Structure 1
Amino acid sequence: MLQFQSFYLHKVEEFLRSRLSVLDVKMGHTLLCLRGFFFLNLLYRGQAQDAVLTIEPNWTTFFTGESVTFKCDITGDKGSDWVYSIYWNDQEWLPNNKHESYELHSLTPGYNGAYHCFFYQKGSTKKSNTIYLNVSDRPKAVLTVSPSWPSPGASVTLDCSVDHPSAGWSFYWYKAVPKPSHNSYNSYDYELLPGSENGTEQHLFIIDGQTHTAGYVCRAGRGDPVYYSGQSQPKFVWSGDLNSAASLTVSPDSVQHFSKTSVLLSCEGISTEWRVRTFTKPDYLYRCSSWGTMTGSTCTITRGWLSGVFWCESETGQFSNAVNITKYDYEMILVSPVRPVAEGRSVTLSCKFKTGTVLYNVDFYKDDKLIQNDTRKELTISAVSKSDEGFYQCKRRDPADGWTSPESWFSVKLAASGPGKASQFPILLIVGLLGGVVLIILLLLFLYLYRKSKDSCCIRSQRTNQGPATDHMINQDEIQNMPQYSTLLHGDRCLYETIGGPVEAGNGASNEPEESLYLNVAADQ
């Protein structure tokens, strides 16, 4: 059909050229454009009756359990006697359907393949375009948290990703709530975080003001009704700070321990039932019973080697502070506190041999830099500051063995009030209050004196109107001859000042009581 149309256009063009040869080049271009227009128009009209297959939702990848709707249609005008079949991998899969759509529920990877529609009408047939359907297993969400050990009150960022990214995902965020210890199948319930009820478009979720140890999970969802991905493994944000509801203490108080040393982890706080948990790489979460013995609220580590993060969980849903512990068969270890040390406090680090002897011929290192190599057997920091935070280790000076302890992170927390600040604050507060009171008193006194001076001026002015000879007025010339009062002249104001002293005899006022003399100065600038 298209070949015939092209041939027809070619003949029409030859005829027009033979009749219009006198036209200029511009007309020739016009004819070429006209030819292109006719050709595209006929081509469009030829395709206007094509069969079309679409799918909803129009995603490149589907997952096990999702649904898809096939829509077979003929563009433009079509009669009611069309029927179609859906072909899957060139095999008739859904024959003789008159409805324009067909919904396929509960997809599985077995539905992968190529699909197209094939229309029939009184011996005429039309084949649609081909769509390739890709169905994968249900994806699993992966959660990461940063940082894992935030400073108290800092922000924590949760990042949720899906194994097989695709369009249309929203993200849901949950916090982990510990279940009672006797529930061994699933240790946590999960509660939606505020702002996550309807999912978030962003794969990042920021938690402000993180103060305590907490666990989080996430999952993704799309469609209506919502199809959910698998839930992520719980991820934890750890805090070394103690809290009143739950706390963990370690005995002996050290990050590093020898393999034969018994280590006791004790839970304290507002609860009657406790469990101790540990997180070890790569992403393994264990109970005390996996590597020790739980007696009441105390877990005793019996395994010869162990390294991880430990914390307590209560039946009331509380998390304790978390601690890092390393327990291996070393020749020597660094003895350093398991909990963060507050700024301004004193701390002592030492190095022990596996017999329990404190070694003296050792050098101490911080972040691989030598910081002490004298005869002292301990490293003492009299007033800890944030700059002291880092990785510490000790090395024996004897070149015959060259024993070295593992590294341990020494953490420093900001004190609510440093040394001396607690005593300075009340003093500054009292001084500030007293200063404010004094300023108020001075202001009131100034207003009182100003009001009194104004009233006295009014009285003096009345006396002047009644008898100027009885007043003791000092004119401008007299003031200029009195340098001690020349500073009263300023601006356009009338300043008043009391001058003490008795009235001289002979001025007609000897029978009146002694009074003050007022200066009435009119300053003209």
Structure 2
Amino acid sequence: MFLFPVTSTASKPRATLTAQSSVIPAGGSVTLSCSVEGSAGWKFDWFRRDSVSSKAQLTRGNEANRVISVSQGGLYHCRGGRGDPVYYTEDSSDVTVTETLPSKPTVTLQPSWTQIYSGETVTVRCEIQGGEGAQWTYEWRAAKLNTPPTSNEYRIIRATESDSGGYSCRGRRDYFFSEWSDIITLTVSSSKPRATLTAQSSILPAGGSVTLSCSVEGSAGWKFDWFRRDSVSSKVQLMRGNEANRVISVSQGGLYHCRGGRGDPVYYTEDSSDVTVTETLPSKPTVTLQPSWTQIYSGETVTVRCEIQGGEGAQWTYEWRAAKLNTPPTSNEHRIIRATESDSGGYSCRGRRDYFFSEWSDIITLTVSYKPKAKLRADNTAVPVGGSVTLTCSVNPSSSSGWKYYWYRDEKSSEALTTQDAVFHSNGQISVSQEGLYRCRGGRGNPVYYTEDSQSVRIGKTASNRPVVTLYPNWSEIYRGETITVRCEIHGGDTEWDYEWETNSRIKAPNQNEYRIRSASSSNSGNYRCKGRMKSSQHKTTEWSDSVTLTVSDSK
């Protein structure tokens, strides 16, 4: 007979319950294990409660397997039992298993700005769709929440940079959790933002308008206040306030700025920088030249003047557009002293006072050329007996004007001719009856600007002797092959002469007193006249003789 030792323990054993996890994922399960330390042969009973105060419900009894899976949240405990009659252990301690519900909250911001600034107020709110009737307790994950709230919203008053970061939440009721929401990131900037004002154009066209735009970079939800001043020193006037539209049109010149505001209480940005809008007045200036010559010459002086009709009483500042004006004047006139070719070009101007512009004037074009040379013409180079010669002086181009003309005789004379020396006709013409070497020049302006002297023209005197053209034989009509002599005869005195002939025949006569034509042909037909020039004084000539006509017929 075998005897087995039996050990008896005075204290009743206690079951031990362990959970694989205290949280059941949405749609999943958790494994629970029950054990009695140091002994065997146990079967297990499993109990669950909905809450601490509710009655425990047997979920499974007399289970040989000490491990089960559960998919409901609640308070769980177990006990072991063995033998017949059954001997039970003490109940295990409770284990809390929380069930994750499939609902996922959403974190929202009110106002809905993820970019805010130091001093603004914002509310972070946790919203669970479909969970409005339940009594939820809320958990928060947030950068600054050392003691997170248990309510569904968190109000940040006078935000600082430390409030920046990600915010997420979940709800809890009894043994149920929602999932964690997605993270929403809040950024708090330490510096107060500055509004930016831009203008479509800085100049208002006459009778038109300009579009202004106000913006705050990198953030939203702003409404805008618009301000205007008449001048830098004048008081700011609010034009429009709390405007949802960030764009306005203005039709007045002035200094404009804007600011943004949002939230309750309203949080304001810094004011934008001023933008100057200048209004174009319908008055249009005129550019004039004094003297009024658009064609001038190197070394001359001219004044370019800006004139605004009807604007005489106003204090204008002037702007110029000109080829050479690197530093344009602000006065109404620009004096060009000793002009050069680089002063050539178009000149236009406009007036400005406060925030008003006139229109630009039409362009006046100034042309500066090299110093011109006068041109002298004579209608005859010999003074007829008892008569005179007309001299004409001019300056090219003909577009230049304002010239007066100065006349000189003989090369060394620097004294201009007077009415005792010549007969002065319209400007640029004189009549002279004295022989000599004549030249002229033009002058204009104050001080007088002179052209280069013209080329000199020699004017001679006509001798009283008048030549006669004779034919030998004295036949005015001859035939081809005949011989005839055309002779220039000057009667009176013993003066020696050089001769000049003028003829429209195809064969020209030699400069001798007679021209012998042998074997005449039709080429010798024409008018013949002559004059003499004294050998002793080449400036004295006779008048031209009367013309004699010679006809040569081809038929015998």
TM > 0.5 fold call: no
Tell me which structure has the larger Cα radius of gyration: 2
TM-score band w.r.t. shorter chain? 0.3 to 0.5
TM-score by length of 1: 0.37
TM-score by length of 2: 0.35
